[in-house]
Amino acid sequence: MKRYALVVPTSMGVRITPEFRQPVHISHHFYMQATSAETNVASVAAALGLPVKVLTTFVEGSPIAAFIKNDLRSRNMEYEGREVPQGGPWGYRHQFNIADSGFGMRGPRVQNDRAGEVGRTLNVRDFDLERIFGVEGVEILHLSGLIAALSPETGEFCLALAREAKKYGTKISFDLNYRASFWKGREEELSAIFREIASVADILIGNEEDFQLCLNVQGPEAGGKDIASKIDSFQEMILRVQQEYPNASTFATTLRQVVSANEHLWGAILLRDGQWNVAEPRPIQVLDRIGGGDGFVGGLLYGVLKGWSAEDCLHFGWATGALAATMLNDYAQPADEEQVWAVWSGNARVKR
């Protein structure tokens, strides 16, 4: 039996958010949380009792590192990572994500402050991959394009993880997560890394921008109105991805149309073993949109780990994405499976 249901490499940081959905530039009081896209994904499985491990790196002696470690423990996540000396006031630190939630027609604004980010030092030499995959065992390795593109070292780390996972029969999930600022001037290097990881992945996840810009697969234009009318073009894009990356058995994308900062139309598409499943976009209320896509991936992977049907995996992922949008933290932390299925069914009645 494998020790871990899910393993995620990540660069941990903190997010600060103004209270009462106010803009950053006029706020004096902020809520702080530990965060990363990859632990946002892992949060669903961890909250529902599955064993999760985080591979990361920390600033030695940092109170922010201590804050992050305490948070991961409280969320039922094990972690492993090197302690890196700060190197003085201009040395390493954990990234800061500064974001407001928006309100009504004032959209959210996000600023990432990643100067001196310790996560950029993630290195394959700091981890015993044979122990993790060959001795302890992992059901699913979830990789994110954010980590693959963070630095040359993290790109090599993700490649090494994918190769080792493949060697020991671990399923590989890859969420492309394109970021233009990470790719600038590194297009050829990163394209090669992303294509190799995608070629061995069992589960490929991305939006229309991700598939086009990371894998050069033609797809629909990003954004726009009436997302439901674009479902056919999304399916055509995914079929092109499947043709180029036949190793994968599962392909997924979310569908989002922004009505206001408080209301979105939320849907998703899943292709698994040649069969389509579609969650048509429908309205959801939004407290904070950041992490909704990660919540979807987390729910989808939870369903895969539980051996559910493709339809149930899609519906559960849709619901954990919608659940994440109701929370101040940018991850879904469900109380139990029943709560998630109630979200999917539209049952918001009080449970006593």
Q: What are the tens digits of pLDDT across the range 2-47? A: 999 999 999 999 999 999 999 999 999 999 999 999 999 999 999 9
Q: Which two tokens stand for residue 341?
A: 């299925």
Degrees to nearest 5, angle at CA 109 with 319 and 191: 75
Cα–Cα distance, 228 to 222 (Å, whole number): 13
Give me the mean pLDDT over the 87-106 stretch: 95
Contact present, 44 and 299 (Cβ < 8 Å): yes
Q: Which two tokens stand for residue 15?
A: 């997010």
Q: For residue 219, is pLDDT > 90? A: no
Q: What number of CA atoms fall less than 13 Å from residue 124's CA on the CB side?
A: 15
What does the pLDDT look like over 239-292, one tens digit per residue? Answer: 999 999 999 999 999 999 999 999 999 999 999 999 999 999 999 999 999 999
Cα–Cα distance, 258 to 283 (Å, whole number): 10
pLDDT of residue 222: 64
pLDDT of residue 299: 98
Give me the mean pLDDT over the 64-88 stretch: 97
Report pTM: 0.96
Q: What is the mean pLDDT of the chain?
A: 96
SS3 for 244? helix
SS3 for 207? coil
Give me the mean pLDDT over the 200-210 stretch: 94
Give me the mean pLDDT over the 110-123 stretch: 95
The strand pair at 171-175 and 203-205 is best described as: parallel
User: How much of the chain is helix, strand and coil, in % rounded to 5?
Assistant: 40, 25, 30
